[in-house]
Structure formats: C-alpha cells, structure tokens
Amino acid sequence: MQLRVAVIGQPHGLKGEVRLDVRTDRPEIRLAVGSILETDPPEAGPLTVAKNRTYKDSYFVLFDEIKDRTAAESIRGVELVVETDEEEETGEDEWYRHELVGLEALDPDGYTLGVVKELEIMPGQDLLVVEEPDGLITRVPFVKEIVTEIDIEDNCVIIDAPPGLFSEEEMVISEETVSGSSKSDDSQDHASEETK
C-alpha cells in the first residue's frame, strides 16, 4: 500500500532544492534526512533526502539524486510516496486514494450528486473528480468546508457544494426561480461548461 507524503513543487535556488506540498502530518519522520522515497511516476525515483528545512511555513528538500535547478524542474509535480501497511493509522484528514474512488457523492440532504471517480493531486489543493448521473464530470475542491464528511463504512462522501458547482443543482435552482424552459436550459449549459 502506498501513502502519499508530498508533491514536489517549484525549484528554489540553483542547487536542486525544491519546495514540497506536504501531504502528511508527520513530515519530520517521512522526510527525515536519509529517507528513501518512491515516486509516482516510478521512473522519477527513488529519491533520497539529503537535507530538509522549513521557512515561512514552507518545506524545502534537497535530494541526493538532484544536483541542479534543471534536474529539479524535471521532477516538478512528482508525488513522493512510501510503502506502508494498510493497517497503519492515517491522520484525521488523510485518506488513501482507493478509499475515496467509488464512494457515492451526496449533498447534505442525502440527494445523489454522483460517484467519486478520481482524486486529482494539484499544487494548491486536491480535487475530487465526481461523475454526475448524467455523465458530466465535476471537480470538487477537496477542502473541509465543501467535503464535509467522508464515511467509508457507509460508502459515501458528503459534499456541501456552492450553488452551480453541480449541473443538477443549477438546473433545479433555475426551474424553481425562473419561469420558462429556455432560461433553465441556458443555466444548465453554462454549468456544464464550467465543469469541463
């Protein structure tokens, strides 16, 4: 089982140092000097931590295998992962990708929004990729304010989405507040474009 530790960000300086988007609550253990980390994609690694430091809430690392800024640029966006026992306890807000994919996405009232198809790793924040019942794909910011609850046992995730994020929500709002079908159709088309 692989646990995502961090995503490699932009280079810092000329000697190959990189900024990390840390995804573990134990970076002092996972990213300790001498740690050997597998990567996703696998061909980018493994990478050995030669030096680490924090500065203004950011985490910076030098790897033995990365000698200059050009090499650092080539690994930007690579995920650092470690092999871990599936039984190992994760942090309160840490989830394995395989735990999320396949969960039913519900709104706070229990209305079906779709099914989680993927977890996209992004520099700023991760995105839950949800396939709606009509086949449209919606990318949901994976933040506590929007993804309010994850219930693995009940096989669902609760999403308190802002208006218009999901096409069905936009269509229902339009039908309730606007008379005439043409305006409803326009709202649905607009929502569809935003979710592509």
Question: What Rg value do the Cα atoms of the chain yield, rounded?
Answer: 20
Domain 97-195 - what CATH class?
mainly beta
Contacts with 29 (C-beta within 8 Å, 6 or more apart), sequence order: none
Cβ count near 123 (within 10 Å): 13
pLDDT at res. 61: 92
| C-beta separation of 195 from 167 below 8 A | yes
Burial degree of 9 (CB within 10 A; 0-12, 13-18, 19+) = buried
Q: Render each residue's pLDDT in the chain as its tens digit; 196 residues.
A: 567 788 899 898 888 999 988 877 677 778 889 988 888 888 988 999 999 888 877 889 999 999 999 999 999 999 888 776 544 444 445 666 777 888 999 989 888 899 999 887 666 677 889 999 888 999 998 888 888 888 878 889 999 988 888 875 444 443 443 444 444 344 333 333 333 3
2-83 CATH choice from 2.60.40.10, 2.60.120.10, 3.40.50.970, 2.40.30.60: 2.40.30.60
pLDDT at res. 152: 79
List the structure tokens of 155.
């096989």
Q: Where are the domains of the chain?
A: 2-83, 97-195
pLDDT at res. 58: 81
pLDDT at res. 25: 65
Contacts with 131 (C-beta within 8 Å, 6 or more apart), sequence order: 114, 115, 117, 137, 138
At residue 111, φ and ψ (nearest 5 deg) are: -75, 135
Q: Work out the angle at residue 48's Cα, subtended by the Cα atoms of residues 44 and 51, and round it to the nearest 5 degrees.
A: 125
